[in-house]
Chain A
Amino acid sequence: MIKGRKEAVLGLIMVSPAFLLLLIIVVLPIVQTFVVSLHSEDGGYDLSRYAFLFTDRLMRMNIVFTLKVTVISSLLVLLVSYAMALFMSFSSGKLVDLIRKTYMIPLFIPGVIATYGLINLLGNHGWLSRMLLPLGIALPRLIFDEKGIVIANLWFNIPFTTMLLTSALAGIPASVIESAKDIGAGRLSVFLRVIFPLSYKTFLVALTFVFMSVIGSFTAPYLLGPNSPQMLGVSMQQVFGIFREQEQAAAMAVFTFLLCSVLGYFYIRSMAKDEAARM
């Protein structure tokens, strides 16, 4: 009994540095930001900063724009990454080898450099535009537009998401797929009934990562996005840095955090369900 209590105390002592660090750099700033966001203009505490997010036309546009870019980017990233992961896991050949060797390259290029590279490539007077011009093809507006942000999000998120999904697919034994084929399942049935269910947890993790990374992104939307509407990250910087409205910026940060929490909730709920099913 005493030995068990000693072990419990020792465990608490061992975990406390990590817990304290988490408390100081994550939990306290969140609480502090939330408290700041409740400060009203007349010095009191209310929800007026949150009300402003939904009553101001420009702010509403920013929220809708952010959600639109985030949803489109997340869907495209997952679609492309899943397709690449499937291709690399279940096919062979020179093309597969080439993709395997190169798909991680974007991870090693700093974000600012990659973003300027995209401006040089896809801008109105960029390389692609100049190459297509002799053919009489005019490139649609990609830079300083939501399309530019989506393209940058693909560049930034596809490698890591593909890596996650590839490792999940590698964990599915070939024999399990063989047994599905053996009972007569075609490619689509094998994917829908066996491969996807066995990799959906990682899919959910990937979705959470991409969603959070895109919704909170700053560099690409700042350099590639339009002046209006703006992604919440860019708008937050303006409200905080240019308009000097710390309380409003705090409300925007908490709102963004809540948006991410929604996805986090679904992820945790799914994990809890799986855990309950295993018990």
Chain B
Amino acid sequence: MSIQLSIRGMAKRYKTGEGVSDINLDVRKGELITLLGPSGCGKTTVLRSIGGFLKPDAGDILIEDRSVIALPPEKRPTSMVFQSYNLWPHMSVYDNLAFGLQIRKKPKAEIRESIADVLRLVRLPGAEKKSPAQLSGGQQQRVALARSLLLKPAVLLLDEPFSALDAKLRHEMREELREIQSQTGLTMVFVTHDQEEALSLSDRIVVMNHGRIEQIAAPQNIYNEPESLYVAQFIGKMNFLEGVVEADVIRVGELAVPNAKRLAGPAAVVAVRPEDVNLDSGIKEGLPGAVKQIMVLGHYAEVSVNLGKHGIIRSFQSKDAAQALSLGQHVRVSFAKVTSFPKE
């Protein structure tokens, strides 16, 4: 698949010292890629630079193999869906949607037809005459999305578009966006700090930290094979245990786990997802521990086990398995799958 957007060596530094550096990213045509990271990590800087609202200090941005770095926002083949919708309050929904097409000098009949089509696509048929003030937050965001979709941009930029919506609506909008993306085949760059949103929406996720890209991978790979300690900490729940490198294995107390990454040591950090932590009371292998807390969370339970000098480890257990455990009970802890990192 061809590359629709390419960012090469982009850097931007603010007076505060924050910014981004060494940003290299290729986005394939029709791909939905998410920039994920905490506040201040630089994801919005990257997005606004693609849209032309910020001028990078270095590097280049290419859309469909053409550099757009010197172009102002109005000349770029991009369109942005903003966090706060940014509808024009003095215009009706129709006028909000028609503005961009009028600038492109489209015939009136075509504009009318396109607006009716796009409103059907975003599930707001017949809303043309309403003013933004008459719409709910979710409806306003749909109009904002429709406004961008109408322009058929080469790259659609979405700046935390659902963050102002409540959890239920956010979930619905995610599904709708994914559906719209598969219908339109648009290339989308989505910015969020919500990892659940990123994991559920994206073809690939770009995890950012302190202005740099930590990892670019598909959601399942980001979750299962984090490349850095930061990604492992940031995505999902993870247990971290200190270990000692001994050639092919890393030893955590009595337990030895494979040194798959061939870490040099001497110390390493072993990371285990709670769902990969096994608890057993009938065996002698594994790390000894005592059940400290059992929290039933609907169809599963989170069990905390005190491992003494290795700290507390959390394990996800089925409701039935958790019911068989009791507070203070001695168990043996083993791991179904681990990943390891050099100790920083």
Residues of A within 8 A of B (CB): 173, 175-176, 178-186, 189, 193-194, 197-198, 277-278
B230 interface hit (Cβ, 8 Å): no
Q: What is the CB-to-nearest-CB distance from B221 to chain A, in angstroms, rounded to a whole number? A: 33
Tell me the minimal C-beta distance from B97 to chain A in angstroms: 10
> Given known contacts A183-B79, A184-B100, A189-B103, is B86 in contact with A178 (CB within 8 Å)?
yes
Q: What is the distance, in angstroms, from B96's C-beta to the closest C-beta of chain A? A: 9
Q: Are B86 and A179 in contact, CB atoms less than 8 angstroms apart?
A: yes
Given the contacts A189-B103, A278-B133, A182 and B88 also touching, CB distance less than 8 Å? no
For the complex, what is the distance from the CA of A217 to the CA of B112, rounded to whole Å? 51
Interface string of B36-63 (1 = CB under 8 A from A): 0000000000000001010000000000
A181 and B99 contacting across the interface, CB-CB below 8 Å: no
A183 and B100: CB pair below 8 A?
Answer: yes
User: Can you list 8 A-B pairs with a CB-CB distance of less than 8 A?
Assistant: A180-B88, A180-B99, A182-B79, A183-B74, A183-B79, A185-B103, A194-B88, A198-B90
Given contacts A180-B99, A193-B99, A194-B88, contact A185 B74 (CB under 8 A): yes
Give residues of chain B (232-254) contacting chain A, Cβ–Cβ below 8 Å.
none
A184 to B84, CA, bound (A): 19
Contact B89 A182 (CB under 8 A): no
Q: Indicate whether B80 reaches chain A with its CB closer than 8 angstroms.
A: yes
Name the distance in Å between B214's Cβ and chain A's nearest Cβ. Answer: 29
Report the separation of the CA atoms of residues A165 and B82 in the bound assembly, to the nearest whole angstrom: 27
B residues contacting the other copy or chain, number (CB 8 A): 27
Alpha-carbon gap, A193 to B98, bound state (A): 12
Once A183-B147, A193-B99 are accepted as A-B contacts, the answer to whether A176 and B74 lie under 8 Å apart by CB is no
Contact B53 A178 (CB under 8 A): yes
Closest 4 CB pairs of A and B: A183-B100, A179-B86, A181-B73, A197-B90
Q: Does B72 contact A (CB under 8 A)?
A: yes
Q: Which residues of B contact A (CB under 8 A)?
A: 51, 53, 72-75, 78-80, 82, 84, 86-91, 99-100, 103-104, 131, 133, 144, 147-148, 151
| Bound-complex Cα distance A242 to B121 (A) | 76
Main secondary structure of the interface of A (DSSP, over half): helix
Q: Closest chain A residue to B73 by CB distance?
A: A181
A173–B87 CA distance with the chains assembled, in angstroms: 11
In the assembled complex, the Cα of A183 lies from the Cα of B156 at a distance in Å of 11
Chain A residue with Cβ nearest B84: A175
- Residues of A contacting B144 with CB < 8 Å? 179
CB distance from A194 to the nearest CB of B (A): 6
Using CB atoms, name the residue of chain B closest to A179. Answer: B86
In the assembled complex, the Cα of A189 lies from the Cα of B82 at a distance in Å of 20
Residue of B nearest to A175 (CB): B86
Q: How far is the CA of A29 from the CA of B133 in the complex (A)?
A: 43
Q: Are B90 and A179 in contact (CB under 8 A)?
A: no
Cβ contact within 8 Å between A182 and B74:
yes
6 further interface pairs, Cβ-Cβ under 8 Å (given A179-B80, A184-B151)? A175-B82, A175-B84, A181-B72, A183-B147, A185-B99, A198-B88
Q: Given A175-B86, A197-B90, A182 and B80 touching (CB < 8 A)? A: yes
Q: By the criterion CB–CB under 8 Å, are B84 and A178 in contact?
A: no
| In the bound complex, CA of A189 to CA of B99 (Å) | 10
The one of B74, B104, B133 that contacts A181, using a Cβ cutoff of 8 Å: B74
Contact B88–A183 (Cβ < 8 Å) = no
Are B90 and A183 in touch, CB under 8 angstroms? Answer: no
Residues of A close to B82: CB separation below 8 A? 175, 178-179
* Interchain CB contact under 8 A, B131 and A277: yes
Contacts of B133 on A, CB cut-off 8 Å?
278
Tell me the nearest residue of chain B to A274, going by C-beta: B90
> Within 8 Å CB of A173, what residues of B?
84, 86
